[in-house]
Chain A
């Protein structure tokens, strides 16, 4: 069974149509990358998947239930683009609070901090951390619930290359253990680390593909170049 099934999803903000008629499925136990330029609707789509976005029409089914169902709250972890943790608490206090909400203890909280490489900063106030560390603290607060589906909105922004690689390896490890990940990024070189790719542009799905297929379709080994070729082809078709 697919972890996420989106059918004919339309989202409007004011008069603007942010997502137009999206349909796709996210397979379980894989890393699915949601890629597209800033403003293409990635965050809105992720909000719809976790059930905090008001939608105009269409269905979003997550782990067999309608998105946002009470039963999903222990099964889905969500990390927003701006780190949403308490700046006036220490890293450990944040992790323990979210652990308590998911019915976990201090041990799981410490393990989640170690997972994102923050165990040494555990007793620092989040407000005193760098932007990248804050983002990882926010990620740890979702990992602590050991969700079946992790929805991560641009988790690697502002991270140094070493940490970024480590985090993507961690995502692959989670997927290998059965977790489904939906990860957004606007950096095409991260696309190569995904099992599947959803390419979004102006609120429409440009391609539902894999890195290998994107290289073949775009006739380039460079994913960025391949993406551009696809964009130009779709624009030519529309014109």
Chain B
């Protein structure tokens, strides 16, 4: 039933070609903008160029943001259209429903990540020391985190207006504190502590590890596992918010 649900979600997506086009192209185009922004600025010898550093991180942040938004709206529609109440009277279990969503959008994110990584490394000459497959893997795990947090956030939104505003609330603090804008070592102690409990911090660190070293490092795997663990936790919490009986 997870497969049937994932198939259904992907079929819904297929009937919406503009969303597919935006999902696949927008990250590449935004990355292109960053490339042009820094293209002609000099890089100190021995330093990673700004685009290599930021661009690589963005490969993890785009799928997180996009999947968070898409999922929270999709689940909100499921709640408001009455289909969720109906599904809860069928043999479909709550984890199967959520894993169905996770699988469908995880697959969409894989395609998105492959396209974006391909464009970034060929058209924009993004330099990555490690394996590109690992970059795609981390991007997909990030997308699943976005899906899980989106499913959870949708429980607290009663309208689309509220749902889209959860994006800045959930995403921007993680983005500010992930170590991209200011290196984590230079943050005030308490901000560093907050940054320590935000999953995006680990995703960004994992990508930086792949950017630096040719071989997969233990730290990279640990970071990826943390992100996957938080995603699983958020999915479990989201399952708890699906109540069969309501007043």
Interface residues of A (CB under 8 A from B): 13, 50-54, 68, 73-74, 76, 78, 80, 82-90, 93, 97-98, 100-103, 125, 141, 145
Q: A100 — which chain B residues lie within 8 A by C-beta?
A: 1, 4
Q: Which of B53-100 contact A (CB under 8 A)?
A: 81-83, 85-92
Which of A68, A78, A101, A141 is B91 in contact with, Cβ under 8 Å?
Answer: A101
Minimal beta-carbon separation of B108 from chain A (angstroms): 15
A52 and B245 form a contact (CB under 8 A): yes
User: Which of B11, B12, B89 is the one whose CB lies under 8 Å from A52?
Assistant: B89
Instruction: Please tell me which one of the listed residues A54, A68, A82, A93 contacts residue B82 in the complex, with CB atoms under 8 A apart.
Output: A82
Please, how many angstroms separate the alpha-carbon atoms of A100 and B92 in the complex? Answer: 10
Binding site for A on B (CB under 8 A): 1, 4-5, 7-8, 11-12, 15-16, 81-83, 85-92, 244-247
List 8 contacting pairs A-B, 8 Å CB cutoff, sorted by A.
A50-B89, A68-B244, A86-B8, A87-B81, A89-B15, A97-B5, A103-B91, A145-B90
Which B residues are CB-close (under 8 A) to A97?
Answer: 4-5, 7-8
Q: How far is the CA of A103 from the CA of B1 in the complex (A)?
A: 9
> Which residues from chain A contact B90 at a C-beta distance below 8 Å?
73, 98, 101-102, 145
A82-B81, A88-B12, A89-B8 known; 15 other A-B pairs, CB under 8 Å? A51-B89, A51-B244, A52-B85, A53-B247, A54-B246, A78-B86, A78-B89, A84-B86, A86-B81, A86-B83, A88-B15, A93-B11, A101-B4, A101-B91, A103-B91
Instruction: Closest B residue to A138 by CB, please name it.
Output: B86
B-chain residues with CB within 8 Å of residue A98 when the two chains form the complex: 90
Give the chain B neighbours of A50 by CB distance below 8 A. Answer: 89
Residues on B with beta carbons closer than 8 Å to the beta carbon of A102: 90-91
- In the docked arrangement, what's the CA distance between A88 and B13, Å? 8
| Residues of chain B with a CB closer than 8 A to A73's CB | 89-91
Most buried by A among B16, B85, B89: B89
A52→B8 contact, CB < 8 A: no
Query: Given that A13-B247, A73-B89 are contacting pairs, would A84 and B8 also be in contact in the complex, using a CB cutoff of 8 Å?
Result: no
- Shortest CB–CB separation between residue A110 and chain B, in angstroms? 17
Residues in B with CB closer than 8 Å to A84 are: 81-83, 85-86
Chain B minimum-CB-distance residue to A44: B247
Q: Which residue of chain A has the shortest Cβ distance to B1 in the bound complex?
A: A101
Query: Which single residue of chain A is at the shortest CB-CB distance from B247?
Result: A54
- Is the pair A88, B16 in contact by a Cβ cutoff of 8 Å? yes
Cβ–Cβ contact A89 & B12, under 8 A: yes
**Given B4, B5, B11, which contacts A89 in the complex, CB threshold below 8 Å?**
B11
Give the 8 A-B CB pairs with smallest separation, nearest first. A84-B82, A100-B4, A84-B86, A97-B8, A73-B91, A54-B247, A101-B90, A54-B245
Question: Considering the chains assembled together, what is the distance between the CA atoms of A9 and B237 in angstroms?
Answer: 32
**B12 and chain A: residue at smallest CB distance:** A88
Which residue of the partner chain, among B7, B12, B85, B247, contacts A86 with CB atoms under 8 Å? B12
Q: What residues of A have a CB within 8 angstroms of the CB of B92 in the complex?
A: 101
Cα distance, A76 to B90, chains bound together (Å): 8
